[in-house]
Chain A
Amino acid sequence: MTATSTLLTLLVIAASGFVLARARALACAGGDSRALHSLPGHYGWASVLLTLGPALALFALLKIAAPPTPAGTLAVLALALAALAWSLRRTRPNFRARQTVERGVLALLMLAACVAIATTAGIVLSMLFETRNFFAQYDWREFFLSTTWAPRFQGDSDLGILPLLWGTLYISLIALVFAVPVGLFAAIYMAEYAGGRFRAIVKPAIEVLAGIPTIVYGLFALITVGPLLRDYFAQPLGLGTSGASVMTAGLVMGVMLIPFVSSLSDDIIAQVPQSLRDGSLGLGATRSETIRQVVLPAALPGIVGAVLLAASRAIGETMIVVLGAGAAAKLGLNPFEAMTTITVKIVSQLTGESDFAAPETLVAFALGLTLFAITLSLNVLALAIVRKYREQYE
């Protein structure tokens, strides 16, 4: 018997359990459902839960522990049948079926929550494991403190994270410096000034920006923004001749982030109660004074959250960087020079012929874990800031 047919059989058993338990409960009560502790359906569902739960658990255990055997399948089916018989015996008018069902639902919901947590834990564990392998072969001080990134597939590579970290932060910074004011001002305009018609057109239009795949932004950076910046800024100013640059990637990434900042901030600003604006206007404050002194402070926690969310997007972005800033790891201040980020290097270390035992490949996991640590601390920071201001304002 295959796994699929085992599962199907289990379902059939459970379904018959539902019908039987329901009928039996009704029969016990002499057809009068008011004599029952719970609704007839509850008895049916309780039976389903009792039948399926243990059988599925055993099925999963056997699946993980050993290759499928006919004996195992039989054991699963036997368990289901036994549970069915037992649940039918328990189906009496005073059996508290509703409570059993409620507990079953709770267990199901908890299981769903656990899947998310378990996945996160799994990701972190697998990264940790590979990272440990990497640090077994490569000195961690070199990794964190060396300023050169020069992998060589013959071995003897320099794998310092600093140039990549610098590139990541530099590009993200430019993106945020561009996206935060633009996004915030757009949000203020839409929430406080724009008329209904304008808002109805522009808000969805801005949100379309969020739906554009990042590879398309990358192309835009490569063929439009890069050459433009090179021809009109970098070359005239004598700052470089490269189309791929920190500035190109940063600006295009900034455009990508605008809807994150503006759309979230817009919602948050719109939630500030009108009575606060009235209070300020009623004291003779102008509209912009009201926004600056009352509305924005009240919306600040949410805005900070939006900005940090945008920051973690920026740090994790890959495509725009590859096409906009290039793939050359470099530590430098000139924004018109090509640089690259952690994410890009993770991809390039893992593509092609990679030997999963060499430090040149394993370094990707160490990079990934570092990136994860950075975004995690950003999120924790965001939460802490939001909580602090909440306390102060509510």
Chain B
Amino acid sequence: MKDTLTEGRGTAADTAKIAVRGLQVHYGDTHAVRDVDVDIPDRAVTALIGPSGCGKSTFLRCLNRMNDTIPAARVTGEIRIDGEDIHDARVDPVQLRAKVGMVFQKPNPFPKSIRDNVAYGPKIHGLTRKRSELDEVVEKSLRRAALWDEVKNRLDAPGTGLSGGQQQRLCIARAIATSPEILLMDEPCSSLDPIATAQIEELIDELRSRFAVVIVTHSMQQAARVSQRTAFFHLGRMVEYGDTGKLFTNPADPRTESYITGRIG
């Protein structure tokens, strides 16, 4: 898998799952994302790194049009997923979001039972009808999110009663239960212990065989461990994007180098 990703940028565009051109995002007067062009490959993990407030979450939210829900946000530019412009009038954001799943920066479990949290997506999309199938999906998703053993005896307890790290994994389970084609993860391990982090990284590695995964992280080590490609954002611009190994060992831009060696951010 890794070998196929060491190709140059030109060829990546041909297999790009997501192609972004000239993306700009404004929040009122704040210019949060500037001139971003990027091709995100399928069946690979792309990491977004950069200092706080540089626009990583904003960029991520563009990919499933979650910025539509923020009245102040204005998105311009082109984003194509599988060659289709997601801002096209014919594209239904609801369908898009079913295809492009998202794990948010802050855990946001619904005020429902743990089971219902995970079953939420499959239920509204009518993926499963029978209770037994639903239970199966719930168990599988929770296992993959490394949460099953901790909650298997209290599936009917409210999801909001879990610890912060457990909530984060519940939200991951909830997102993968709908089997999206692309999974956007905004700092999914920010409140996890090393063991749970390792389990989530394993999950991400496994997801890569079928999905495109885009992950925002503040941990350089994590980006290096799980991703094949890395994009470095700084002040709303994507400063550098390329093969993860190369970006960390031999960054082209001095700003990238300062950031990964800990001098800015």
Which residues of A are in contact with B by a Cβ distance under 8 Å?
273-286, 289, 293-294, 297-298, 392-394
Q: CB within 8 Å of A: which residues of B?
A: 64, 66, 69, 94-99, 101-102, 104, 106, 108-112, 120-121, 124-125, 158, 160, 171, 174-175, 178
A286 to B124, CA, bound (A): 9
Q: How many A-B residue pairs have CB under 8 A?
A: 74
> Are B125 and A284 touching (Cβ within 8 A)?
yes
Contact (Cβ within 8 A) A276 B108:
yes
Q: How many Å from the CB of B137 to the closest CB on chain A? A: 13
Contact B121 A394 (CB under 8 A): no
Cα of A286 to Cα of B95 in the assembled complex, Å: 9
User: Nearest Cβ in chain A — how far from B210, in angstroms?
Assistant: 18
A297–B97 Cα gap in the complex (Å)?
A: 22
B124 touching A285 by the CB < 8 A rule?
yes
Chain B residues closer than 8 Å to A289, beta-carbon distance: 124
* Most A C-beta atoms less than 10 A away, residue of B96, B97, B108, B174: B108
Q: Which residues of B contact A282 (CB under 8 A)?
A: 64, 66, 97, 101-102, 104, 175
Cα–Cα, bound, A275→B112 (Å): 15
CB pair A279 B108 closer than 8 Å = yes
Closest approach, in angstroms, between the C-beta of B28 and any C-beta of chain A? 14
**Cα separation A278 to B120 with both chains bound (whole Å):** 14
B186 to chain A, nearest CB (A): 10
What are the nearest 4 A-B pairs in CB distance?
Answer: A284-B98, A393-B111, A275-B108, A279-B108
Residue of B nearest to A289 (CB): B124
Q: A277-B69, A278-B104, A392-B158 are in contact. Are A284 and B97 (CB under 8 A)?
A: yes
Given A297-B111, A297-B112, A393-B111, A283-B121 contact (CB < 8 Å): yes
CA distance A297 to B111 in the complex (A): 7
Partner of A283, one of B109, B111, B175: B175
Chain A residues with Cβ below 8 Å from B171 are: 279
Question: Given A282-B66, A285-B94, A393-B158, A293 and B120 touching (CB < 8 A)?
Answer: yes
Q: Which residue of B lies closest to A282 (CB)?
A: B102
Q: Does the CB pair B101–A283 fall under 8 Å?
A: yes
Contact B97 A279, beta carbon cutoff 8 Å: no
Contacts of B109 in A (CB 8 A): 279
Q: How far is the CA of A385 from the CA of B174 in the complex (A)?
A: 29
* Residues B94 and A286 in contact, CB atoms below 8 Å apart: yes
- Complex contacts, B99 vs chain A, CB 8 Å: 284
B174 A283 Cβ-Cβ under 8 A: yes
Are B110's CB and A279's CB within 8 A?
yes
Would you call A275 and B66 a contact (CB within 8 A)? no
Cβ contact of B124, chosen from A275, A276, A278, A293, cutoff 8 A: A293
Interface residue from B69, B108, B158 paired with A273 (Cβ < 8 Å): B108
List 10 A–B pairs whose Cβ atoms lie within 8 Å, in order of A's numbering. A278-B66, A281-B66, A281-B97, A283-B124, A284-B97, A284-B99, A285-B94, A286-B94, A294-B111, A393-B111
Decide if A284 touches B108 in the complex (CB within 8 Å): no
Smallest CB gap from A195: residue in B: B71
